[in-house]
Chain A
Amino acid sequence: MTRLPHSILMFGVLLAAAVTSADEGASGDAEYTIEGKLAISPHQDNFTDILEATQILVDGGQHIGFLKDDYSFEIRNVVPGSYLVQVSHPLINFEPVRVDISSKGAKRARRVNNVQPHLNNHLPYPLKIKVLGLHNYFQQRETWSATDFIFHPMVWTMGLPVLLIMVLPKMMSAEDMAQTQREVQQMQNAARMPAVPELSEMMTSFLGQRPPQRGGASNTNNRNRNERIRHD
């Protein structure tokens, strides 16, 4: 609502401008002309078929305009009212504009807002139709590329475990390997020695009756060894 005075002011200015550009035929039957121009420079090379293929549609073809070779257009015999001016081209996306013509012939242009049609977003009149870009009708085809493949999460989830299985044993340095081998050897030796009790034996003796007391150091050693076995 705070915008209202501003828009009235603008309306007044436009009224003054429109009186000077009143039509020749506006005298009797109150029919007006909508004028405008496409805001593209005439030397634009990549738009070759604009003059042939462009249609200017007012209210979906109620009135039709044609482009002149300077990209300007006029739509004649329009009675007062509010009109949607669309410039249709198969490849280029032009901004649609709403044009209001009052019963006195004052014209103004607004940005199209379908949800709040009474909102006033002024655009210059005579119309300057902007190019919003080219229509992108097509989906991008997925192309195979090495980076896509590498950064794909599936590749990571599959690849990492493989990496761990294959590479980690190799990453262990030679002394580590030697160490492990030594320990395995020790374990085998220990298994051969009857003096060293089995874990199950230990447990049964521990749960059944108190086992004979041994040094704390040998006990911790034993636990460590067990853990290592579980690891391997």
Chain B
Amino acid sequence: MFELKILLFSIGCLTCSGLFEDQVGKWDWLRKHVGPVKHVNFGTIAGGNIFVGTASNVLASINSRSGKLVWRKILQEDERGVIHSLSRRGNPILVTGSDPPILRSFHISGALHWETKLPSTPPKDSEQEHFIDAESMTVVSVYTSAKDVVVSQFSYASQETKTSEPISAPFARLSKCTLVDNSIYVCLVDQTLKVLALSDLARGFISSDLKTDASALELKGLPEGRFVAVRSKVSTWLYGVSAKGAELLRQFDDLTEITNFKHNDVVYQVLAKRSESSCWTLSVLDSKFSEVSELRGEICIPNVFSGIRTLDVMGLSKKDAAVSYRAVVTTDDAGVLMFQKEGRVVWSREEALSEVTNVQFVDLPLSDIEAHIEEEFTEKPTGVLSMLIKRIYSQLQQLATFFEPKNPLAKNFGLVRDNFGFHKVVFMATKVGKLFLVDNLSGDILWSRYLPNIRPFSNGQYITVTQRSTAHIPHPPVLSIFGRSPSGGSRVLALNPITGQILDDQHLDITITQYSLLQPNEEFLKGVVLYDETTRRTIVYPAKANTNYKHYLLTVGKRGVADGFLLEDGKIDRLWSIHLAAGSEVEGVAVKGQENVHSQGRVLGDRSVLYKYINPNLAAIISRSAQQNSVFVYLIDVVTGSIIYQTVHRKAKGPIHMVHSENWFVYSYINEKMRRQEISAIDLYEGFEQPNDTFSSFSSVQPQVEHNTFILPDYIVQLKDTVTEKGITSKLILAANAQGSILEIPKAMLDPRRPVNPTMLHREEGLIPYVPEILVPPQSILNYNQSVARVRGIETAPSGLESTCLVLAYGLDLYYTRVAPSQNFDILKDNFEHYFILVVLAALVTATYVTRALSARKALKAAWQ
């Protein structure tokens, strides 16, 4: 117990980087998202909260006036959390998962009302669809197998299920089917509509010919009434369906979207037709299909969003009892917007930011004046006088800006570099193909661009490469993004990250799995070597880049073979190949990033130095074998293929997360035997001899390995280390847990040399005694109560100050902050009392003069005596 107290005390001291309460929101921000909207529920009252079910498996309540998130329920990320259906009105009732499907009803307040398993057992190999009727509290489930459909109706009120006999429908699996009005099941088969009335299942499907020769038809069930729309590229046919079959009602041309709404028991059809490039006319038809002219409206989508994907309309009564409506539009780039009838955008949400895959911090360019000064040094000399005038002019300007009121820590301060390097911009790429540039201080979107023809690679990520930074003033910065092209191959887009201007757009005919940067050319542009693991092809982008290179490459196949290659001027040679543990699958590979390591060694208690083993070619591979129920860890030198260290954890499983930096490797896994999260740290040391200045994999010694494992009381979903400019500041391991907190764990806590029985030397060195469990105090939670849902990644970047590191956590939410792992040693504290010190100094100066005068008077008096 006493030891525990010491430990707590020492943790408290190590992580004094906690926040003060008045610093909340000063340099951090959180953007909460819900994901791309799939289902819309207009709620109980007009103007109240609406509910959305999203593709990210989130049910959310959104204020219909402001668009603000009221509450959200985050379901499981896997298929058990998939929202199949959401009621259209009233309390949100939703069906999630398929094995078994679960029906849940929530209160408007966010509390769970009730929850039940859908009792019907689906036939084998069947696809399922669920349709909710909120008014009668029934769920119609349709199970489609290769030969027939089974319809099951569950009533919550009576808790009864009626399951039909299999109805022969060999077409249903391959065609688009839907249920309208919770009573008629409609399938579109080639040019025929097949209609099944739930009230008369025995009758089976009734076919009605569409009498059209258009191909590539699509079926859409309209939300209200017994209507379906059949759409081809140019035309849209509106059908009324009943137990007797389908009946053509109207034909429309060039519609973007058709939907309907019910108000005062009248079903109004809403047609959206493109009028201008980003505007759509909404025409509303009444029950007799004649247009209601006073309900005609036009909606214009702001140009930060792409075109309409879905349209949902809710009818409402105005104060004078006239009918009006509101429309919720989702766009192809995952935006969601609420429109009034008059066409005003009530609110919009950028939900593409919930699917960020890649994040890159970009330095801002110098301000114009500083750039001007820089230019003086690059220009050719043009004569003494003109240069003198130029210099005086620019320095006068500098003087003028110096007196302009500005605060380098203030949030919006122009897109120029600040003194401390705190202000950067963050480039983000998202799964839906939308790119963003976000200001890191305010979280504002500076530009966004939707690219319909670029998607992440099969690992769910793009490759983003900074080819030229903002430091080379006359040349624009270049950031390239490589992604999969939907038509096959890859696509590369080179753009200026500050302005968003596209500099190059190319199609490459290889699938990129790895890349490496080349030496910059005379215009400071770094080329990229791209490598395709499956076809073993390599190309250089841009094609005219410097092609003299020699790069070592590690490829790790899913089936547990690691290969080392040498890429030399376009040739590929296999150097070595290692078979990892039999039957194991690779869970992850970690190589070191580009970073500075300031200290070459550690000073021990007896003043001797233990030198670090800093091998830039070291890669860590972790694989897991399901049959052996073990996790295997390898540290491999990529150049020589020698295994520097390997270990195994029996009865362990993933998810595995890892951080590889300097001379250490930290990874987390779950110990199944003890049922706890463990985090393991490996430190590598060369020994007490000073190593050579430059490291060589061919001549290096086998390092001393220190390895120790610790327990964490939380489940880790992501690990990352902090980076600083020069690598002097000690490191923090940032661990995001399942609750959405980001824990700061100092590397000193994850030091494998922590002694179980500390001696004087250990104490002299400052090692914390070993205790198995790492307790993280709440003061060390980086994002305090601003929980970040489903963290998928944490990106860190150095600021201009050595003490400070910029952190962006992304997942469903975005959270940005900055962290000082060794406290702010190079910047005044933000509560530094400037005025107090000024007052004290002024008081001292006055006191000096006053006392001088007084003492002079006294001396004079004394002299007279």
Contact = CB atoms under 8 A, between A and B. Distances in A.
A55 B81 CA distance: 14
A57 B739 contact: yes
Contacts of B110: 51-52
Interface stretch (A80-88, A157-165, A204-212): A80-88
Nearest to B71: A52
Interface in B726-760: 737-740
B102 interface: yes
Nearest to B57: A64
Given A59-B715, A66-B112, A137 B784 contact: yes
B396 interface: no
B18 interface: yes
Given A51-B111, A69-B107, A135-B784, 12 more contacts: A25-B100, A60-B714, A60-B737, A63-B76, A64-B81, A68-B113, A74-B115, A86-B739, A117-B676, A137-B785, A138-B21, A139-B19
A64 B113 contact: no
Contact of A136 (B117, B713, B778): B778
Contacts of A73: 112
30 contacts: A51-B111, A52-B109, A52-B110, A60-B677, A60-B714, A60-B715, A63-B76, A64-B81, A66-B111, A67-B111, A67-B112, A73-B112, A82-B675, A84-B675, A90-B785, A90-B787, A93-B778, A112-B713, A114-B674, A114-B772, A115-B772, A117-B674, A135-B778, A135-B785, A137-B779, A138-B20, A138-B784, A139-B18, A141-B21, A141-B22
A76 interface: yes
A16 B815 CA distance: 48
A77 interface: yes
A86 B738 contact: yes
B16 interface: yes
A124 interface: no
B104 interface: yes
Contact of B18 (A67, A91, A96, A138): A138
B20 A139 contact: yes
B773 interface: yes
A140 B831 CA distance: 13
A125 B725 CA distance: 53
B14 interface: no
A138 B19 contact: yes
Interface of A: 25, 51-53, 55, 57, 59-64, 66-69, 73-74, 76-77, 82, 84, 86, 88, 90-91, 93, 96, 98, 112, 114-115, 117, 135-141
A117 B785 contact: no
Contact of B73 (A66, A77, A90): A66
B781 interface: yes
B75 interface: yes
Contacts of B737: 60
A64 B715 contact: no
A76 B111 contact: no
B144 to A, nearest CB: 23
Contacts of A90: 785-787
Size bracket of the B interface: 35 or more
B604 interface: no
Contacts of A93: 778
Closest 6 pairs between A and B when the two form their complex, measured CB to CB? A60-B715, A60-B738, A137-B784, A88-B739, A90-B785, A52-B71
A84 B19 CA distance: 30
Given A51-B109, A76-B102, A91-B785, A66 B19 contact: no
Contact of B739 (A55, A62, A68): A55
B255 interface: no
Contacts of B738: 57, 60-61, 86, 88
B119 to A, nearest CB: 8
Contacts of B16: 139
Contacts of A86: 714, 738-739
A64 B75 contact: yes
Nearest to A136: B778
Contacts of B169: none
Contact of B74 (A25, A55, A82, A117): A55
B345 interface: no
A69 B105 CA distance: 12
A93 B785 CA distance: 11
B711 interface: yes
Interface string B675-688: 11100000000000
Given A57-B739, A82-B675, A138-B779, A76 B74 contact: no
A54 to B, nearest CB: 9
Contacts of A117: 674-676
A112 B714 CA distance: 11
Nearest to B104: A66
Interface in B90-115: 100, 102, 104, 106-107, 109-115
B717 interface: yes
Contacts of A88: 738-740, 787
Contacts of B71: 52-53
A47 to B, nearest CB: 13
A115 B773 contact: yes
B785 A136 contact: no
Interface centre among B77, B114, B784 (most CB of A within 10 A): B784
Contacts of B81: 64
Contact of A61 (B112, B117, B715, B778): B715
Contacts of A82: 675
Contacts of B20: 138-141
A53 B74 CA distance: 10
A25 B739 contact: no
Nearest to B739: A88
Interface string B24-46: 10000000000000000000000
Contacts of A112: 713
A52 to B, nearest CB: 4
A192 to B, nearest CB: 24
A25 B99 CA distance: 13
Contacts of B113: 68
Interface string B769-807: 000110000110100111100000000000000000000
A59 to B, nearest CB: 7
